[in-house]
Amino acid sequence: MEKTEVFKILMLIESSYPLCRFRNETVEQWFRQCNALIYEDVLQHVCGHIRSRPYPPSFRDAAGFTAEGKSADWMEEYILPKEI
Can you name the residues that pair with 65 across neighbouring β-strands?
Answer: 71
Cα 27 from chain centre: 14
Whole-angstrom CA distances from 62 to 37, 81, 83 are 10, 25, 29
Structural domains for the chain: 3-67 (1.10.8)
- Statement: residue 31 has pLDDT above 60: yes
pLDDT at 34 over 70: yes
| pLDDT tens digits for range 42-84 | 999 999 999 999 999 998 888 887 555 454 555 556 556 666 5
